[in-house]
Amino acid sequence: MSVNKEIKRITTHTLQEMKNRGERIAMLTAYDYSMAAIVDNAGMDCILVGDSASNVMAGHETTLPITLDQMIYHASSVVRAASRALVIVDLPFGTYQGNSKEALASAVRIMKESGAHAIKLEGGIEIAESVSRILTAGIPVMGHLGLTPQSIYKFGTYTVRAKEEAEAAKLKADALKLQELGCFGVVLEKIPAKLAKEVTESLAIPTIGIGAGQHCDGQVLVIHDMLGINKGFKPRFLRQYSNLFDVMNGAIENYVGDVKAKSFPSEKEEY
Ligand code: KIV
């Protein structure tokens, strides 16, 4: 399907209209100006400044160490590049779970200091008060259910969530709660496709899947994974659209070779 790049700015209302007419929503992460400019130019609907920046930008094992200041830095770089996409920013671990006042203060900082358009946070009924308070300030909120990486030490592994009935039932209730509170969408991460289909059909608001099958209203991937920059990371749900690790490595090896061989710079490349 061709992308309408003429749309001025995607809003949360545009996303709702897309769900209503059955048009899939494309979302990808970005964390810096140059990458976000390419993503935006390609016709992306939403750019997620994910706390996966902690992994792919900073090299941490989990998303837990990234700070609010660091997320604001990444988000403001992305916002400067995005002229079409809706920019959604993750509230990092420890900045919203304590109480709803703290959650609102964190969300306000992101909106004020980065110029982003919406925030995302992980969890369901247990963070309802925080979600409500952020929404009352007029800040659009996206939920995130299923595998929620900020709780990795509770789960213990990154395997598929909600395979058992009790967890699936809680996830369905959480999704309805997030919708009732006023979230404009919800990310469903690494859950069975059948469950994601049921949730998607039960909600009026869009679901965005990652490892949640083909029935979600949209899809999101981490850009480093889909471009093949993370060489060893190949989970079943990931479609790798390029092999940038090898492409970049080859170019850089050529540069090193040229410098060593004294063939760069040539006379044509000097003043
Ligand atoms: O941080 C992130 O990149 C995310 C996506 C995996 C949904 O939350």
Distance, CA of 46 to CA of 217 (rounded, Å): 13
Tens of pLDDT along 60-70?
A: 999 999 999 99
Q: Report whether 90 belongs to an annotated binding site.
A: yes
Q: What is the pTM of this model?
A: 0.96
246 in a known ligand binding site: no
Kindly report the protein residue whose alpha carbon is nearest to atom 4 of ligand 1: 50
Distance (angstroms) between ligand 1 centre and the Cα of 268 equals 45
With a cut of 70, say whether residue 231 has pLDDT above it.
yes
Q: Which residues pair with 29 in a beta bridge?
A: 48
Euclidean distance between CA atoms 167 and 146, whole angstroms: 9
pLDDT tens digits, one per residue of 87-114: 999 999 999 999 999 999 999 999 999 9
Supply the residue whose CA is at minimum distance from atom 2 of ligand 1.
50
Which whole number is the average pLDDT over 125-141?
Answer: 97
Which atom, in ligand 1's list, is nearest to the CA of 63? 1
Please say whether the beta carbons of 90 and 121 come within 8 A: yes
Q: What is the largest CA-CA distance in the chain?
A: 70
Classify residue 216 as exposed, middle or buried by CB count within 10 Å of its CB (0-12, 13-18, 19+): buried
Answer left, alpha or beta for residue 228, where phi above 0 means left and psi between -120 and 50 means alpha.
left
Query: With 80 as the cut, is the pLDDT of residue 167 above it?
Result: yes
Q: Model confidence at 232, in pLDDT bands (50, 70, 90)? A: confident
Torsion over CA: 237, 241, 243, 248 (sign) = negative
Q: Is 211 left (phi over 0), alpha (psi -120 to 50) or beta?
A: left
- Pocket probe for ligand 1: among 32, 56, 216, 222, the residue whose CB has the most ligand atoms within 8 Å is 222
- CA pseudo-torsion sign 191, 194, 195, 198: positive
Average the pLDDT over 38-43 and give the result: 98
Catalytic residue among 189, 201, 253, 270: 189
Q: Which atom of ligand 1 is nearest to the CA of 222?
A: 3
Phi and psi at 239, nearest 5°, equal: -100, 120
* Residue 120 assigned as binding residue: yes
Any catalytic annotation for residue 6? no
Query: Which phi and psi (to 5°) does residue 177 adopt?
Result: -65, -45
pLDDT tens, position by position, 11-36: 999 999 999 999 999 999 999 999 99
- Contact of 162 with 191, CB cutoff 8 Å: yes
Rounded Cα distance between 28 and 56, Å, is 14
Domains along the sequence of the chain with CATH: 12-240 (3.20.20.60), 246-271 (no CATH)
